[in-house]
Copies of this chain bind each other. A is one copy, B any other.
Amino acid sequence: MPRTVRPDPCAPEHRQPARRVLCTQEVSTMIATRRRQSGQPRPPAHAAVSAPAAALRARARCAAFLTLIASGATWAATQQPTLPLPVVVGTIESAKVGETRPFWISLPDGYSATGQPYPVLYMLDGEFNFNSGVIGGLRWAASLGEIPEFIVVGIPNTDRAKDMFQEEVTFSDGSKAGGRADRFLEFIQTELIPYVDRTYRTQPYRVLYGTSNTGFTAVYALLHRPELASSYVAASATLRLPGFLAERDERIRTFAGGRRRLVLVMGEQDLPTVLVQNGALKEKVEMLAPAGLTCGLTVVERGEHVPADALLTGVRRLFEGWSLGRPLTAENFREIRDQVERRPAQYGVIEKLPESALRSLGGALLDAKRAAEAVEVCQFRVESYPRSAEAHVSLGDAYRLGGETEKARTCYRQALTLAPDHPDARACLQELAK
């Protein structure tokens, strides 16, 4: 049976942080995180333990391993950082626009480690928007749990004037613009998105983001090609195009794109007509749109044209209520589990609870010998991370604690099918065979 180790000041039961565990070493207090080492490529927590690993391991038993992190003189010397914002640069030969189109992709830090699929944000005007300030804001907010982590795809312009409008417009000096927005959006929808979906682990949820004139392009895409993305964020969209204004209300009234969300962001000190035209669009969606199409409008106080935090402002609007807002505890487990399970229906995005949070809570419940609750938490962990051998071992431990030996055996065996050399699973099965 699991043996309870000394109280751990870093991870007291019923107070497990949901997103991040950082332990400290208080003098004269032995620290042990109740995390199993196996199956963890890189523990998410600080934990300094005073005794050598071997001594600790000898002291630890089946279900209560002590984790030694950052100990041993060469530990970090061989580590590489998870490169912040790793960026992939590529091009596509586009038949739709007849050009070589560059694209830039920023992956979440954990992309390689997690094995999870991510929603994707497609960013127009890549050469202006794809930078550490804008993307850093998204990464920061995701690290705080306010929004999901995204793969960000920047689409730099090759001929901005052509791509931003479909209708051709003539300027006062006689020159022309527009004419290629439909083909440009077809390139994104039928060439770029399929490439990204083939190449990376993506969820079907997509955001299209545009700024200023390409904010218009994003609005145009929503009304003409709503299957391109799930949500559209348009920053300081310039909406005063005659053809667009002529068809706008009818397009909204007859919108058949299903559940789509548009967020309009602009600055309080934006350019002339931006507030008026965006306000008008917002009102028309409220008045005319069928159920499913909704529109949020945010004016950034004292903001100028395309406020510097327009994207984060818009994405926060898309994910209002997303944050769990509190650490996972035994008391709020069911509530948080339900909130996480509602996310796909509510937002169209899946984001699991971190396995580390479920590991900590499950371990604490095992230590406290609260078998029924431990089963519930470990069961949810197994459902969330079915390929985690360690999760199956934990569920086995929970069943064993509750006296359900046969179910425990099944779990340990399942762990061994996933990780044939898993020492805990093997040891526990042997103990049960005695």
Contact = CB atoms under 8 A, between A and B. Distances in A.
A87 B77 contact: no
Interface in A63-94: 69-77, 79-85, 87, 89, 91
A141 to B, nearest CB: 9
Q: Is the interface of A mostly helix, strand, loop or mixed?
A: loop
A132 B134 CA distance: 12
A196 B306 CA distance: 36
A308 interface: yes
Interface residues of A, number: 109
Contacts of A325: 302
B143 A308 contact: yes
A307 B305 CA distance: 33
A241 B308 contact: no
Contacts of A326: 302
How many copies of the polypeptide does the oligomer hold? 2
Interface stretch (A33-41, A168-176, A218-226, A335-343): A168-176
Contacts of A99: 73, 77
Which of A100, A160, A306 has the largest number of chain B CB atoms within 10 A? A160
A116 interface: no
A156 B46 contact: no
A184 to B, nearest CB: 12
Contacts of A402: none
8 contacts: A6-B172, A25-B213, A46-B125, A76-B127, A77-B91, A81-B87, A81-B131, A132-B136
B143 A134 contact: yes
